[in-house]
Structure 1
């Protein structure tokens, strides 16, 4: 059994996409059985890839966080100026954009009923890497005299991350499940985010 057994379809990728769609639409993780029905494949097809519902959810979340990491890296490296403040803003905006594009996974990670996900160090390693990148940019900014204060970069990174998560979560509670967050939401969150960065960084 391989991932490509059904007319060239990659069942793993198809299952992740179907799970994401259902998670965003319904607000809770679909079962492996439900995803199997959505893909119109036999139960043995997906069960040979995913052990159970929890395994499928973990793969979906890990895939999303990997995209978060890649998106933030690309955003910072795309900045032509080596100024860490400009790179920091690009990273923060990329994080907001990712969260709005992956609302189901974002909410699942912060759900009280699925809180154990955040305790999985292997699962959240990509998110931690983004926070560490944010901290390194703040350290550079401090060392180059670009910060408005001598605040601890680790504390500032946590503050910025908490603001992003809180602002995005508020938008999602307002929009979902009737509609998904859109470009106007991204612009609104990023506008307030820039104001926060100006206050923190000067």
Structure 2
């Protein structure tokens, strides 16, 4: 049975608030049902946090029949996968654009650019970040079409660190795989603090994203300094 929107989701989705929601709605002019469904799903998740809407709920909000919506999305899971893939495509695009602007010979600067792009993406796409972070909703590692994006980012980080090692910025015996995990975990934590508005606890007079970048640069400098190859 479909949820009754007013009672179960506890919000009037015709009057949802928030920068993410407003930005998504402003960009929906001329967008087809596929894109509007993804945007509506993100709005619902942002408002309800943990309540997954059914196809019937989404169709009611969109003003279309559930039958027509199921022609595009057979079930709720398929909408989640589509929303996650859209978010990951945008993340990859942002990361690639940031990295190619940096001197390819400067692997440390590229690594920083990658981290900054991730934090900026999380700040601009908070609902998507939360969706990808909540495996109760969707475990992207269990969806091959989504897992490849996460794998690609890990591989990109690994190649950058290998180049940094080869350039003498890291020790020859550095555990690159473990360093990827440490760096990814740290960047995720910073992004989470930005999304949850927690950076102000540490830098009350600095914008959230800028504060996160300060911490990111400090982290990378410490890694590079602590792992620098010792002279013979």
Structure 1 and Structure 2 fold alike (TM over 0.5): yes
Unmatched 5+ stretches in structure 1: 1-6, 176-182
Match of 2:19 in 1: none
Q: 1:19 offset after TM fit, Å?
A: 1.6
- Bigger drift between 39-48 and 28-37 goes to 28-37
Match of 1:180 in 2: none
Mapped to 2, the partners of 1:50 and 1:13 lie a distance apart of: 11
Q: Contact (CA 8 Å) 1:141, 1:147: kept in 2 or not?
A: yes
Match of 2:195 in 1: 172
After superposition, the Cα gap between the structure-2 partners of 1:31 and 1:95, relative to the gap in structure 1 and judged at 3 Å, is: same
Mapped to 2, the partners of 1:143 and 1:201 lie a distance apart of: 13
- Bigger drift between 32-41 and 143-152 goes to 143-152
Mapped to 2, the partners of 1:72 and 1:197 lie a distance apart of: 17
Q: 1:200 offset after TM fit, Å?
A: 0.5
Q: Contact (CA 8 Å) 1:85, 1:141: kept in 2 or not?
A: yes
1:18-167 matched pairs, under 5 angstroms:
18-28=40-50, 29-80=52-103, 82-114=105-137, 116-147=139-170, 150-167=173-190
Q: Contact (CA 8 Å) 1:18, 1:35: kept in 2 or not?
A: yes
Unmatched 5+ stretches in structure 2: 1-28, 199-205, 226-232
Matched residue pairs, number? 189
Structure with the bigger RCO (C-alpha within 8 Å, sep 6+) is 1
Cα RMSD between the aligned structures?
2.3
Superposed CA offset, 1:8-27 (max 9, x none):
64111111122222222321
Match of 1:13 in 2: 35
After superposition, the Cα gap between the structure-2 partners of 1:195 and 1:64, relative to the gap in structure 1 and judged at 3 Å, is: same
Mapped to 2, the partners of 1:100 and 1:12 lie a distance apart of: 24
Mapped to 2, the partners of 1:112 and 1:70 lie a distance apart of: 23
Match of 1:192 in 2: 215
Q: TM-score, normalised by structure 1?
A: 0.83
Q: Contact (CA 8 Å) 1:69, 1:127: kept in 2 or not?
A: no
Q: Contact (CA 8 Å) 1:23, 1:105: kept in 2 or not?
A: no
Q: Contact (CA 8 Å) 2:194, 2:209: kept in 1 or not?
A: no
Q: TM-score, normalised by structure 2?
A: 0.73
